[in-house]
Structure 1
Amino acid sequence: MSIKLSRTALISNMMTSALIADLDVVWFPAPRLDSPSVFARLLDEERGGHWGIAFDGEVVSTRYVAGTNVLETRVRAGEGEVRVLDFMPIGMPAIMRIVEAPSGLAYETVFDPAMRYGLVKPYRLDSKNGAQFVNPLNKELMEFIVLEGNCSPLGGNAWRCRGPAKFIGHYARSVGNSILGGGKSIVYSMLGEALDKVLEFWRVKEVKGGAGLRSSSIVLLLSMIHRSTGGIAASPTTSLPEIVGESRNWDYRFIWVRDSSLAAKALMQEGYLVDGRGAMNFLLSVVEPTAKPFDHPFYGVDGSPPGDEEELPWLAGYGGSRPVRVGNAASTQLQLDVEGWFMDALHTYYSLTGDDVYIRNYWWVVEATAEWCSKSYALPDAGMWEERGEARHYTHSKVMMWVALDRAAKLASGVGFREEGDEWRGRAGEVRQYVLANQPRMFTKYFGSSEVDSALLVLPLYGFVDPRDERFAATLNAIERELIRNGLVLRYSKDFLGSARHPFLLTSEWLAMVYSMLGRRAEAEAILGRIERCSSTVGLLGEHLDVDSCEPRGNYPHIFSHAGYLLAREALDGSPIIAN
């Protein structure tokens, strides 16, 4: 039986992250988010590797310590209750676990890493306070250390413990660079001190929203920031299927331009200007001014071009969903919409701060983007949905190129470059007329098509048309008729892999925003209410949602869904924040 994603929580130190399902660490790449996994039970329950803590009892609650990604799990065991805290220290590729248990209570922990996505079985080196599990191919290792507690080894990489305990699972490049090997001291002399430092890190962030989905969405977006570069990765996982048992399984451990731009916008709207600007700095750092500004739709967490897509045939896949993939072949696609997402986020930053110095410092990026969009809007592309096959003239892509030019013109006017502003405003008008001429009666997925997709919902949100425009009204009617499932919206009806099955949360949130603009507030609230009720036990969202089971689908958690929720909730509770 597959691990239920709805019972799975994320912990992160903004360098890497782990997923924990009922005290079992089932996913942990190290030392970085995009590194090979050392625990991957999520993708293969037999050979993937995991780190579990098992009590003779049941988990009664799982939650985050308020405003943080420190995970608290409570277990009813015997006549007492156990509290377990899981977190990652800020500066180490490690997981720390504090078990607060009655002194006589016995339990077991199994520390069973499998290196290189479960491909390599490590050999074991025992020590007084734990063990090291060494990859024989390159000497990297995971070490299990009992920092405090009464624990003794059992067979099969298990330890039996009684009462309170404190553990660390630490990744090292070699024995000489490890803690048990003597080459690396623990960053904090006491595990409790490490916890205090993590809690202080989050206290300074002043996360708002109480215990609801707003708070968990802010924490998730902040947790997905790569601390060394500022970029915001789309998801911490790979190959969690859009449809269980099928092949829609992709690696999302990259910094997508569109996803990161939307997340940066949501954070800035929530008041996290420093973090949002950090994400913008990452995107600005990878711009190529002599060609397409973003020559890849996504980048590695360090800003490097993405590598090739590979399949891992030795892994069974989540729920038998194969193939398991690392890397993503969409890296070579032409996607014309990404510059629009980026320029809209940059304009949001300027609208909130009036930071002329920042915009002037990166004026060369604004110029290069406007020039590219002015010359290239008539090209076919793979679109937002990254269709693999024939390039087409996707309506959403053209509209996002209009967004790029429109925002460039606004920035030019704002910093006093009136001539450029007038020119780009005129170019934006040309793109708009080009789209309208090719969509005379209603907007469709691509020019010449009779299908709609839910990416078209952004047209009024970005100010391309009025929400009551006749063409858009016809489009909205078609989306409601063809794409809505149980109150949420599919991204399209079918693609190169077949029919879509589960609603896409971001476009469902867009639909709520469109309804809000049209005064259909009850319908908008119903959409967000459904999403809130179907968030995981700790308030996380996947890319898609199985509306029958309320289980997340696709990679989980996903910044698109959380950023879209924050923007939609603000649109309903305050002023519309995407609308032009």
Structure 2
Amino acid sequence: MIRSRRQSSPEIVASNTVPIRNLGVIGDRRTAAVLDRMGRILWYCPCRFDGPSLFAGLLDPEGGEWRIDMEGAAPGPRRYLDGSGMLETHLTGPEGNLVVLDWMTSGPQAPIGVLVREFGTAPAPVRVTLDPRPDYARRTATLSVEGDCAIIEGMRLYGSHPLRISDGTVVMDLPKGEAGWMILSDAPISRPNRATLDNWRGHTLGHWEGLDEAVNYEGVFADDLQRSLRAIRLCTHEESGATTAAVTTSLPEIAGGGRNWDYRYVWLRDAGMIVSALLRLCRKDSEGEQYLKFICRCSGTSENYPMAVFTDLDCETAPPETELPFEGWRGSRPVRIGNGAADQLQLDAYANVVLAAKLLYREGSSQGRAHWDVVADICDFLSRNWHEPDHGIWEETPPKPYVSGKVVAACALESAADYGSEAEAARWRKAAGEIRDWVARNGLTSVGAYAVYPGSDEVDVTAALFPVWDYCAADTPEMLATIEALERDWSPDGLLYHRRLECADGTEEGVFVAAGFWVAQYWVMRGDLDRAHAIIEAGIAQGNDLGLLSEEADPRSGEMLGNIPQSFAHAGMIGAVIDLNRALKARTRETQEKSNS
């Protein structure tokens, strides 16, 4: 790794110890940058989410960053601008506040691949330093200055004030009383000026506003729901329609531990929940349909199964895991890029693609049975292979006959049978019936709850989704016993939930944020809307001031854990809120009808 020659300031928190709660994200729906509350860009992969980083200070103090130095500065308030992905950060100082607006150009009338940093009038001298460490800090950056432009690894950096190269960094000084800007472009562009930036900003805001025009929601948690939709969009690759699990890698499930994974890829199992959120929330189904279209394009990416359970943004198999010699976030090692679980058998992942297709057929405006050949192939695969042990939703080894995978496979087969030919429907319903018989014989604990796998007396929070998937009613004896066990063994407070792991103690890591929203959906189906509301509220509280949710949270300290923003958690939140809102409206109508009768 390339080591820095600059002297660290004792007042500045080491970049790889910044609380995850302090992170914000900007993006152009192609890639994203991660900032802390001091306006430091600590993670940025130019061109695409899963590309090599230019800044990786989030994972190592020598990983590179783009920082703002103003004497006596402290973090102030911050917000996203007008519902967009443009982040405004206030730095407070003895002589006044510095306002920083960070954003990436978006929309057809703005250039592609431009990261913009705008600085309001400086209350004191400000120094902005870009410290590039390309390819995950495995190379020394090539820097040069050509006229008024700095060249960084072929990228163009312009500034409102003169740029200079100093000790492997690019520096711009902003005098007191003056405003300024810096832009970093993937490709050659003409030197911009203030009018150019104003034009780009307007088009970018317009692009985000255009996305919001499709939103159709009025009800509880409206602001929080909007924030979650923005988070999903910040994880979405607009050109392909794919949504990554998160924009970061190796932020840990346990601080200082080794469960640190690269989430910058596209998981099949996320498809059902994310497509459901987009279809039910938006008047237009194009975003959800584009995501499903991407998933179905990935057919053939596995030699053994219908497709790899996750892929990169090109529908190619994700690269194998590689460990980087980084310190890790708060010493959490190893730091990984790539992901080695792509060719696991995960029944729930394939089943969720089918459930996503069902939602498109039922709630979308798409004509006919889009991607039916892929959906039918998956169903045939599930009907032949449902009995095989798999790695489950938590991608554990060795494989086991996880009950949740069998259950969601049955639900997928039954839902697809409604759209298949007579022969297909008969074949898939027969397999689904066999699964139901197997679960009834083998899938229950000694007290009649849904077991993690045959022979286990433990339950997992995924079982809360069984009624949501339409496998059973919410008040069956099996579900009542399952929820009782979940509340007793896996919920520290009855509002947040740990997952049950085979290869580790799930209670040692944080609560799994998405899980609470699944349980909230269960309570909506049980009719206890107050309880569902409280669980949703507790889940939202695990996010930060920008409404971003990470994968997990420490229920004792409130610290956020895992990669950010976790699109799975945000989609779960949207699904739970929509279910609750529909139930509340239905209850209001019933009350009004009774009062009028």
Do the structures match in fold with TM over 0.5?
yes
Deviation of 1:553 after TM superposition, in Å, equals 0.8
Aligned to 1:278: 290
| Distance (whole Å) between structure 1 residues aligned to residue 21 and residue 102 of structure 2 | 18
| Distance (whole Å) between structure 2 residues aligned to residue 400 and residue 86 of structure 1 | 42
| Distance (whole Å) between structure 1 residues aligned to residue 95 and residue 24 of structure 2 | 27
Q: 418-427 or 115-124: which moved more? A: 418-427
SS in 1 for 2:418: helix
| Distance (whole Å) between structure 2 residues aligned to residue 289 and residue 333 of structure 1 | 12
For the 8 Å contact 1:54–1:107, the answer to whether it is kept is yes
| Distance (whole Å) between structure 2 residues aligned to residue 321 and residue 379 of structure 1 | 34
Deviations 1:534-557 (A, max 9, x none): 311211000111222322211111
Q: 36-45 or 118-127: which moved more? A: 118-127
Aligned residues: 551
Deviation of 1:420 after TM superposition, in Å, equals 3.1
| Distance (whole Å) between structure 1 residues aligned to residue 425 and residue 359 of structure 2 | 17
Aligned to 1:13: 28
For the 8 Å contact 1:231–1:282, the answer to whether it is kept is yes
Q: Is the alpha carbon distance of 1:348 and 1:292 closer, same or farther for their aligned partners in structure 2, counting shifts above 3 Å?
A: farther
1:253-272 paired onto structure 2 within 5 Å: 253-271=264-282, 272=284
Deviation of 1:189 after TM superposition, in Å, equals 7.3
SS in 1 for 2:90: strand
For the 8 Å contact 1:454–1:489, the answer to whether it is kept is no
Aligned to 2:207: 201
What amino acid is the match of 1:503? V
Q: 55-64 or 397-406: which moved more? A: 55-64
Q: Which runs of 5+ in 2 are unaligned?
A: 1-13, 586-597
Deviations 1:27-58 (A, max 9, x none): 0012211011000110002x110001233333
Deviation of 1:215 after TM superposition, in Å, equals 1.0
Deviation of 1:452 after TM superposition, in Å, equals 1.3
**Is 1:373 matched up with 2:374?**
no
Q: Is the alpha carbon distance of 1:122 and 1:296 closer, same or farther for their aligned partners in structure 2, counting shifts above 3 Å?
A: same
Deviation of 1:392 after TM superposition, in Å, equals 0.5
Deviation of 1:111 after TM superposition, in Å, equals 0.5
**Is 1:97 matched up with 2:106?**
no
Deviation of 1:422 after TM superposition, in Å, equals 4.2
| Distance (whole Å) between structure 1 residues aligned to residue 55 and residue 358 of structure 2 | 41
Deviation of 1:517 after TM superposition, in Å, equals 1.7
Deviations 1:262-288 (A, max 9, x none): 212211110141111000110111124
Aligned to 1:137: none
Deviation of 1:159 after TM superposition, in Å, equals 2.6
For the 8 Å contact 2:55–2:65, the answer to whether it is kept is yes
Deviation of 1:75 after TM superposition, in Å, equals 2.8
Q: Is the alpha carbon distance of 1:143 and 1:459 closer, same or farther for their aligned partners in structure 2, counting shifts above 3 Å?
A: same
| Distance (whole Å) between structure 2 residues aligned to residue 75 and residue 267 of structure 1 | 35
Deviation of 1:471 after TM superposition, in Å, equals 1.4
Q: Is the alpha carbon distance of 1:59 and 1:151 closer, same or farther for their aligned partners in structure 2, counting shifts above 3 Å?
A: farther
Aligned to 1:55: 70
What amino acid is the match of 1:194? W
| Distance (whole Å) between structure 1 residues aligned to residue 163 and residue 95 of structure 2 | 21
Aligned to 2:5: none
Deviation of 1:575 after TM superposition, in Å, equals 4.2
Deviation of 1:128 after TM superposition, in Å, equals 4.1
Deviation of 1:97 after TM superposition, in Å, equals 0.9
What amino acid is the match of 1:96? V
| Distance (whole Å) between structure 1 residues aligned to residue 211 and residue 501 of structure 2 | 41
Q: Is the alpha carbon distance of 1:106 and 1:224 closer, same or farther for their aligned partners in structure 2, counting shifts above 3 Å?
A: same
Aligned to 2:594: none
Q: Which runs of 5+ in 1 are unaligned?
A: 134-139, 173-177
For the 8 Å contact 1:233–1:260, the answer to whether it is kept is no
SS in 2 for 1:190: helix
Match of 1:527 among 527, 530, 535: 535
For the 8 Å contact 2:348–2:393, the answer to whether it is kept is yes
For the 8 Å contact 2:150–2:163, the answer to whether it is kept is no
For the 8 Å contact 1:445–1:453, the answer to whether it is kept is yes
Deviations 1:464-504 (A, max 9, x none): 11111111211111111110023444443443244542110
Deviations 1:178-201 (A, max 9, x none): 45xxxx776997122111111010
SS in 2 for 1:108: strand
What amino acid is the match of 2:30? M
Q: TM-score, structure 1 length as denominator?
A: 0.89
Aligned to 1:109: 128
Aligned to 1:120: 139
**Is 1:145 matched up with 2:158?**
yes
Q: Is the alpha carbon distance of 1:32 and 1:237 closer, same or farther for their aligned partners in structure 2, counting shifts above 3 Å?
A: same
Q: Is the alpha carbon distance of 1:338 and 1:250 closer, same or farther for their aligned partners in structure 2, counting shifts above 3 Å?
A: same
Aligned to 1:385: 394
CA RMSD, 1 decimal: 2.5
| Distance (whole Å) between structure 1 residues aligned to residue 140 and residue 75 of structure 2 | 30
What amino acid is the match of 1:485? P
What amino acid is the match of 2:264? R
| Distance (whole Å) between structure 2 residues aligned to residue 376 and residue 291 of structure 1 | 15
| Distance (whole Å) between structure 1 residues aligned to residue 430 and residue 502 of structure 2 | 35
Aligned to 1:302: 314
**Is 1:474 matched up with 2:473?**
no
**Is 1:37 matched up with 2:48?**
no
For the 8 Å contact 2:68–2:129, the answer to whether it is kept is yes
**Is 1:318 matched up with 2:329?**
yes
| Distance (whole Å) between structure 1 residues aligned to residue 193 and residue 124 of structure 2 | 30
| Distance (whole Å) between structure 1 residues aligned to residue 496 and residue 453 of structure 2 | 19
Deviations 1:46-102 (A, max 9, x none): x11000123333332111013210111123344443322111113433310111215
For the 8 Å contact 1:111–1:144, the answer to whether it is kept is no
Aligned to 2:341: 330
